[in-house]
Amino acid sequence: MLIMPRKENKHAKVIICDDDEDDLFLIKSILEEMEFSHPTVYFHNGLELMDMLQLQIGKNDHHIGLILLDLNMPKMDGRETLHLLKTNPAYKRIPVVILTTSSSPKDIDLCYALGANSFITKPSSYDQLSDVVNTTIKYWIDLSHLPSR
């Protein structure tokens, strides 16, 4: 069944922040298979993501509808990035889904305490990862009401 994005989410941008090139390749492939048409931006660490967000303040850029954030990255890891996102009034309402290899209860508890909207452990198979990415994006972009800019 085809689900159309909510009108207010029509141009929502999706950000993928992950340092693993193989995972990025797989996610890009999954989005292509989904025929996902929203603007999608990829970053290799939290520092790149935060730098881009700082540059976009005040610009009439696409609304950010979702950030998929890995935890273990160089320069600025996902924990630090999540903390900065959720303590900054300009970004705290952006949905952030942790998509990581970790299943540590310590990581799960910390991420929710920092304000993560969801925590998902990356599955090991392509089909399972495809299901996770499809379901996550459909939920946040097609079904959910996103906060206003």
Confidence class of residue 30 from pLDDT cuts 50, 70 and 90? very high
Burial-class residue 28 by CB neighbours within 10 Å (0-12, 13-18, 19+).
middle
The residue length of the chain stands at 149
Burial-class residue 59 by CB neighbours within 10 Å (0-12, 13-18, 19+).
exposed
65, 40 in Cβ contact below 8 A?
no
End-to-end CA distance of the chain: 29
Main-chain dihedrals φ then ψ at residue 99, nearest 5 degrees: -125, 100
Give dist(CA 72, CA 45) in Å, integer: 9
Q: Does the pLDDT value for residue 4 go beyond 60? A: no
Q: What's the pLDDT at 144?
A: 82
Q: What's the pLDDT at 9?
A: 56
Write the DSSP string, 125-136. SHHHHHHHHHHH
User: What are the chain's domains?
Assistant: 10-143 (3.40.50.2300)
140, 3 in Cβ contact below 8 A?
no
Task: Please write the tens of the pLDDT for every residue from 32-46.
Answer: 888 887 888 999 999
pTM, 2 dp: 0.87
Around Cβ 133, how many Cβ atoms within 10 Å? 23
